[in-house]
């Protein structure tokens, strides 16, 4: 009968209050990067800065085509707000990249070979 009494007695575990230590910049950055990965941004996450302003860490993370700003509460470690802003890149006025130069060289070499087989020395 003592076994039945112990089996039905409520089990009371020691209640310890776990007090979270205040957040530091490294932990805030880890929380922000983990949050962005859960949103689907898996690659190329470069943390730029983590600043504490009025009890809220503002973490800036550079993504492939955008910059994310995540606000994390200093005491509760809760994400208060986030925003993603697309990068603004200046396009050069003279837009020739390596591929277009390589294509011009290949076309010029092919034309030279074709014209040499046709015995065309010059156009003049």
- List of domains in the chain: 17-86 (3.10.450.630)
Beta strands in 37-90 (DSSP E): 46-53, 56-62, 66-73, 79-86
- Residue 79's pLDDT is what? 93
Query: What pTM, to 2 d.p., does this model score?
Result: 0.56
pLDDT along the chain (124 residues), means of 10: 47 53 88 92 88 92 91 91 85 74 93 83 59
The DSSP secondary-structure symbol of 120 reads: -
Calpha distance 75→19 (Å, rounded): 10
Looking at residue 2, its pLDDT comes to: 47
Q: How far apart are CA 80 and CA 82, in angstroms?
A: 7
Task: State how far the Cα of 68 lies from the Cα of 31, in Å rounded to an integer.
Answer: 13
């Amino acid at each position: 009968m003592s076994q039945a009494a112990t089996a039905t007695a409520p089990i009371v575990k020691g209640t310890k209050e776990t007090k979270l230590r205040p957040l530091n910049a490294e932990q805030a950055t880890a929380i922000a990067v983990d949050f962005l990965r859960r949103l689907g941004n898996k690659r190329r996450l470069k943390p730029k800065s983590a600043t504490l302003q009025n009890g809220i860490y503002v973490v800036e993370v550079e993504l492939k085509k955008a910059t994310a700003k995540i606000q994390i509460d200093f005491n509760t470690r809760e994400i208060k707000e986030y925003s993603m802003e697309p990068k603004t890149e200046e396009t050069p006025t003279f837009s020739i990249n390596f591929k277009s130069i390589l294509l011009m060289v290949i076309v010029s070499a092919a034309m030279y070979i074709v014209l040499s087989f046709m015995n065309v020395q010059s156009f003049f």
